[in-house]
Amino acid sequence: MRKRVRSHVALTAMLSVGCLVSFAQSGEATYKAKCLMCHGATGMADTGAGKAMKVKPVTDPDVKKMSEADMIKATENGMGKMTAFKGKLSDAEIKSSVEYFRSFIK
């Protein structure tokens, strides 16, 4: 009986850690799948598409002063030539990708 309980506890712990790691990576994965082509690997908008659409880099003062809520709203509704992702990505995907993008702000 004790062995079974330990096995369940161990399995639960492993699944919990796996879920946390998966959640932590989802922002990066979503960013790479949906945002990287314009915003670049480090948020510098140094891609062909980013340059063509004149996307501001993460170092731009206007970008730096945006709050997380502002960036989420821009991602949901689109901004400039950026497409709107509301209905295409879940709220959690949008939030985690914005958090990942904001990690580039120094």
Q: 21 falls in which pLDDT band (50, 70, 90)?
A: very low
Contacts of 79 (CB under 8 A, 6+ apart): none
Q: Which of 69, 90, 70, 105 is nearest to 26 (CA)?
A: 90
Helices (H), 1-106: 2-34, 36-39, 48-52, 61-64, 68-77, 91-102
Whole-number average pLDDT of the chain: 86
Indicate whether 23 pLDDT > 50. Answer: no
What structural domains and CATH numbers belong to the chain?
26-102 (1.10.760.10)
| pLDDT recorded at residue 94 | 97
Q: 50 falls in which pLDDT band (50, 70, 90)?
A: very high
Residue 86, strand partner residues:
89
Mean pLDDT of 34-46: 97
